[in-house]
Amino acid sequence: MDLPPDRLVAHTPARDGGNWHYLDDHTIDVADMAAGFATSFDGQWLARVAGVLHDAGKAHPDFQQYLLANAREPDRKHPTVDHKSCGAIHSQVHTGQLLAQVLLGHHGGLKNTGDVNVRINARISKDAERLALAWERFTAEPRIAEALAGLADRAIPPWLSRDPLEMEFLLRMVFSCLVDADSLDTERHMNPDRHAARDVAYPSIQELWDRLAKDQERFALDPAKPVTAVNRVRAEVYDACVEKALLPPGIFRLTVPTGGGKTRSGLAFALRHALEHGQRRVIVAVPFITITDQTAKVYRDALGHDHAVLEHHSGIEPRQENPEGGESDPERWRKLASQNWDAPLVVTTTVQLFESLFASRTSTCRKLHNIAQSVIILDEIQTVPPHLRGPLFDVFRELVRHYGVTIVLSTATQPVLDTITPQLAADGREIVEIAPEPERLFRALARVRYEWPCQDEVWDWARVADEMRDEPQVLTVLNTIADAADLYTELGDDNALHLSTRMCQAHRRDVLAEVRRRLASGEPCRLVSTQLTEAGVDLDFPVVMRAVGPLDRIVQAAGRCNREGKLSEPGRVVVFSAETDDKMPPGVYRTGALEMEGQLRRPDFDPHDPALFIAYFTSLYGLVPEDREKIQHNRAERNYETVDERFTMIEDDTFPVVVRYGDAEKLDRVVDDLRRSIGRPKAPVRMLMQRAQPYVVNCRRRHQQSYEECGLIEEIVPGLWEWKGGYDKKLGLTDIRLEPSGLFV
């Protein structure tokens, strides 16, 4: 196969035939698409410059020969040729140093400023002739020359100030526009079938709002939902959300007691608000995978549209297969839409959302531009790591100021935005409460009675187990995995249930389904759990026991007690000091527990008063640095890789192992396919890793060597291991050869 004469190309023909992808076509199409993506934040000129210049180096004869070699021998790996430096260096004519990182990183990710400068200087000194030849050939293409001439009218966003943090985030968003446009245009050429699968009939925001409003009418008239105090509050909160949705975009609080209907009401606010203000999508971020399924199901049931809800997190199992056992069309759409969040309603985790906002990798940053002009609901916002709140809150403010975003902070235990409140005031903004009179709502939904520990009274596991045996339905929440395992063993009840991160996601999902079944049927149900069940999980026990911990964790656990208000008396929430309190998680968690004990001594201490949490978080945040990892400094220096490394929501250093749970034959196929993928350049490794994810348990990195020496793990592919030890049907990952309490996170 020979190159067409007198025409530069950007990509080889697709494997199943077709034409070459011409460089001028690709350049213009990517520039137009990237500029279109950036219009929502006035970044279209910068995005267009990036689009025009991103593949300039492909004009060099060596790169053209590289493409020809790939076309002739597609299964052979050929030496690559740098094609990014040319555009990065020439971008300085138009934007100074602004776009060099964006252009150099559009395949490998955003690098630190110093590394980029070193690379550019090296290329200029060593490869001047090569760069000049590539640029000469690139600009000789008539359409490209015309596009370059069109860049003369400089138009950076009018809101851009000299704030280096503003510039850092703007370039991150421009990078997202370029990466997504480049990926989509390349995919359209190389894999038109896959590209066509993206073209689905999305419902409009108007249609989604109409569907939810209609479902709410049905919901309100459902005779199976009697008029109770809980349902009255839920209806009142829903109406308030619809009313407040007409207010201008900004930052809102939705302070509603647990069980007060935040999931439906928050969505009502978001859809009505987006419709009112022309916003494009709704993004709902929840803290734990245990509640993503639950939230997505509520939305799907209410909206009744196949493409209304995109669920994007690590715990998703493929829901459907086609008759031949392959990937179904809905599953294919979900995977494609997850790449860039091109859907009207996205349900994800706060880890996925927050780490994306500070990422450097192309695949992670690709979706960022679609966050602009959206409504973001941050569920259980109190779970934000306090030592990251400085950079996080600053990005919240930035999204609201310049990217058309509205943010809703939804929880019963509201933290304080201490690091940005003065800046919000300077912007002429304030945080607006959506809920009508939160104090009154909390009084109306005071469905539990707290029993606090007596001073110096410590319970051993035998005492806790005895208390559990006295109750037919009881949830006990503990601080560590080891505590949960020890209490479950002490309980000695084969019918009891256990939840912790020793168990894979599929296992935890099955246990939660069984818990809900038993609770609904009135069967005995004694559940021992770590903190997995605290925030947002829809469980309704008559009794909840909770080891002493941070105040917000205790109150969230109480939200699993008498949730529907069906008991004739308040539910019991028993808080106790455990014999292992000195071994509770260190750092902020332990600090929060100590602060809770301090709050408990206050004469006006009342966990049913939302004002308590303002005092609690104000005091707690005063003890924890707002930016412990110096992320803001590195953002200001545009050290993107360093920011990515330091912004970690989950601090434990872990590694993943696949366990044998559920369909053994299915897991064998996935593991075997992963092993066979090694060394195959076109193997679908990422897809196979996603299939394995629901059967993964994370173990502490410091134990990895000992596991290997004991034969407990075997590497499947780089970054993923198979667990060769035991897996208990109740406790999850275990092995009698090692001490279980040290294995897990």
Tokens of 490: 């002490």
**If residue 698 lies in a helix (H) or strand (E), which one and from where to where?**
strand 696-700
Tokens of 256: 């509603």
pLDDT at 679: 66
Q: Which CATH class is domain 9-197?
A: mainly alpha
Q: Is the pLDDT of residue 317 over 50?
A: no
pLDDT at 44: 96
| Residue 652 pLDDT level (bands cut at 50, 70, 90) | low
pLDDT at 552: 94
Lowest mean pLDDT among 174-188, 314-328, 627-641: 314-328
Q: Is residue 216 a contact partner of residue 238, using CB atoms and an 8 Å limit?
A: yes
R_g of the chain, CA atoms, integer Å? 27
pLDDT at 319: 43
Cα distances (Å, whole numbers) of residue 337 to 298, 333, 360: 20, 6, 20
**Of the segments 21-35, 139-153, 553-567, which one has the largest average pLDDT value?**
21-35
**What would be the CATH architecture of the domain defined by 447-607?**
3-Layer(aba) Sandwich (3.40)
pLDDT at 322: 42
**pLDDT tens digits along 182-218:** 999 999 999 999 899 898 889 999 999 999 999 999 8
CA 134 to centroid of chain Cα atoms: 40
**Of the segments 300-309, 451-460, 508-517, 674-683, which one has the largest average pLDDT value?**
508-517
| Residue 329 pLDDT level (bands cut at 50, 70, 90) | low
Tokens of 379: 């569920």
Q: DSSP labels for 462-494?
A: HHHHHHHHT-SEEEEE-SSHHHHHHHHHHHT-T
Tokens of 495: 């019918």
pLDDT at 740: 43
Strand pairing partners for 721? 657, 715
Listed by start position, the domains of the chain span 9-197, 207-437, 447-607, 654-742
Q: DSSP labels for 302-361?
A: HH--TTS-EEESTTPPP--B-TTSSB-HHHHHHHHHHHHT-SSEEEEEHHHHHHHHT---
Q: Is residue 558 a contact partner of residue 573, using CB atoms and an 8 Å limit?
A: yes
Torsion of CA 151, 154, 160, 163, to 10 degrees: 90
Instruction: Give the separation between CA 548 and CA 551, rounded to whole angstroms.
Output: 8
Instruction: Give the separation between CA 532 and CA 499, rounded to whole angstroms.
Output: 7
Residue with tokens 């699968």: 197
| Residue 693 pLDDT level (bands cut at 50, 70, 90) | confident
Q: Is the pLDDT of residue 134 over 60?
A: yes
| Beta strand ranges found along 135-233 (DSSP E) | none
Instruction: Give the separation between CA 101 and CA 27, rounded to whole angstroms.
Output: 19
| pLDDT, mean over the chain | 90
DSSP strand pairing (281-286 vs 310-312): unpaired
pLDDT at 318: 42
pLDDT at 328: 63
| Residue 58 pLDDT level (bands cut at 50, 70, 90) | very high
Mean pLDDT of 357-384: 96
Domains 207-437 and 447-607 share a fold: yes
Q: Which comes out higher in pLDDT, residue 5 or 167?
A: 167
Tokens of 391: 């950079």
Mean pLDDT of 148-176: 93
Closest CA to 473 of 508, 510, 521, 513: 521
Mean pLDDT of 102-126: 94
DSSP letter, residue 532: G
pLDDT at 745: 40
Lowest mean pLDDT among 27-31, 276-280, 281-285, 325-329: 325-329
What percentage of the chain carries pLDDT values higher than 70? 94
Mean pLDDT of 310-317: 67
Q: CB-based burial of residue 73 (10 Å sphere; 0-12 exposed, 13-18 middle, 19+ buried)?
A: exposed
Q: Is the pLDDT of residue 300 over 70?
A: yes
pLDDT at 97: 78
Q: Which comes out higher in pLDDT, residue 615 or 326?
A: 615
Closest CA to 396 of 340, 435, 438, 358: 358
pLDDT at 673: 83
Contacts of 503 (CB under 8 A, 6+ apart): 511, 661, 697, 731, 732, 733
Q: What is the fold, at CATH topology level, of the domain defined by 207-437?
A: Rossmann fold (3.40.50)
pLDDT at 225: 72
pLDDT at 683: 61
Helix, strand, coil share (%) of the chain residues, nearest 5? 50, 15, 35
**pLDDT tens digits along 87-112:** 999 998 877 778 999 999 999 999 99
**pLDDT tens digits along 235-270:** 999 999 999 999 999 999 999 998 889 999 999 999
3-class DSSP state for residue 379? Answer: strand
Mean pLDDT of 474-478: 97
DSSP letter, residue 125: H
Strand pairing partners for 656? 698
Whole-model pTM?
A: 0.91
Q: Is residue 572 a contact partner of residue 561, using CB atoms and an 8 Å limit?
A: yes
Instruction: Give the separation between CA 72 and CA 61, rounded to whole angstroms.
Output: 17
Lowest mean pLDDT among 19-33, 376-390, 657-671: 657-671
Tokens of 5: 């004469």
Q: Which amino acid does the sequence have at 250?
A: G
**pLDDT tens digits along 653-669:** 788 999 989 887 888 88
Residue 120: HSE in the Cβ half-sphere, 13 Å Cα cutoff: 23
First to last CA, the chain: 55
Closest CA to 273 of 265, 217, 403: 265
DSSP strand pairing (251-255 vs 310-312): unpaired
Q: Is the pLDDT of residue 436 over 50?
A: yes
Tokens of 341: 């969040």
Contacts of 427 (CB under 8 A, 6+ apart): 397, 401
